[in-house]
């Protein structure tokens, strides 16, 4: 077995600060940076982000959807971005939110987690609402190669929160998701089956038993603060990685300003 993704990420957090920076090249941000909403603009945006964050940030999270909208040419840029970040020693989570069953889930797992895959990342986000057990192919492949997964557990949009806080057998749906992920991390130093919990959720699940990293979006532009993240984290704040995108990317396209903004936020965690 390779070293746990959780151990690798916590070590990166100790070195760089516990921050995940998103790469979200949506059309409005490309325009804000003075770039065209084309593959060329996408490539320049991504290269700038790599230059700013590679080797200086604990975790970087490209949002796959903003590459996928350009088809195969967009995926080619994503492949370049993943390779450049990982060659610099920076951990990367592909924000792909995949989820399915059986051989299809195995296909998604191979795409994002198999060593040598064109889209190889260190971790991938997954959607568990076909059941956490349906994610087994990705969870097992990740463990085999020292990679990780982040399972969507508690999201802050109103539609998700209404469902995810519903009661099933005395537990919120989101809590059940966290608890089932925790079972995969038993006996590990720091496990590889993490979760995503929004920093703005009104009724967050308890994270004490998870024993794995927690991605926590919602800081900054979405209204939450680092203090909100710490309150949700409770006793496991050392495992929580606040995820920021717009509040850092607004400093672009200047590389020094992007790096400075990310560094300032990382020091607050």
Among the listed residues 233, 240, 140, the one whose alpha carbon sits nearest the alpha carbon of residue 190? 240
- How many distinct structural domains can be found in the chain? 1
pLDDT for 224 equals: 80
Confidence at residue 92, expressed as pLDDT on a 0 to 100 scale: 98
HSE value, Cβ hemisphere, 13 Å, CA-based, for 32: 13
Tens of pLDDT, residues 199-219 = 999 999 999 999 999 999 988
pTM value > 0.75:
yes
- Of 15, 97, 260, 267, which residue is the catalytic one? 97
pLDDT at position 229 is: 87
Annotated catalytic, 97? yes
Predicted pLDDT at 268: 87
How far apart CA 204 and CA 200 sit, in angstroms, is 9
What's the length of the chain?
Answer: 269
Strand partners, 168: 171
Range of the domain at 160: 5-268
Model pLDDT for residues 54-74, shown as the tens digit of each residue = 999 999 999 999 999 999 999
CATH (domain of 42)? 3.20.20.70
């Amino acid at each position: 077995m390779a070293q746990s993704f959780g151990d690798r990420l916590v070590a990166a957090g100790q070195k760089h600060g516990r921050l995940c920076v998103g790469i979200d090249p949506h059309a409005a941000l490309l325009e804000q940076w003075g770039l065209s909403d084309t593959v060329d603009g996408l490539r320049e945006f991504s290269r700038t982000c790599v230059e700013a964050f590679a080797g200086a940030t604990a975790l970087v999270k490209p949002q796959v959807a903003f590459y996928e909208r350009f088809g195969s040419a967009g995926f080619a840029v994503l492949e370049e971005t993943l390779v450049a970040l990982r060659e610099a020693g920076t951990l990367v989570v592909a924000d792909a939110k995949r989820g399915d069953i059986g051989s299809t889930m195995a296909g998604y797992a191979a795409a994002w987690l198999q060593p040598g895959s064109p889209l190889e990342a260190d971790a991938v986000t997954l959607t568990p609402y076909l059941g956490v057990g349906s994610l087994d192919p990705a969870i097992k492949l990740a463990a085999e190669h020292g990679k990780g997964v982040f399972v969507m557990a508690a999201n802050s949009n109103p539609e998700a929160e209404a469902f995810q806080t519903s009661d099933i057998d005395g537990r919120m749906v989101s809590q059940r998701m966290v608890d089932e992920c925790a079972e995969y991390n038993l006996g590990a130093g720091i496990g590889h089956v993490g979760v995503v919990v929004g920093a703005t959720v009104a009724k967050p699940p308890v994270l004490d038993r998870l024993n794995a990293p927690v991605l926590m979006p919602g800081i900054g532009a979405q209204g939450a603060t680092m203090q909100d993240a710490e309150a949700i984290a409770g006793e496991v704040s050392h495992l929580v990685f606040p995820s920021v995108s717009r509040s850092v990317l607004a400093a672009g396209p200047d590389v020094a300003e992007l790096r400075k903004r990310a560094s300032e936020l990382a020091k607050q965690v």
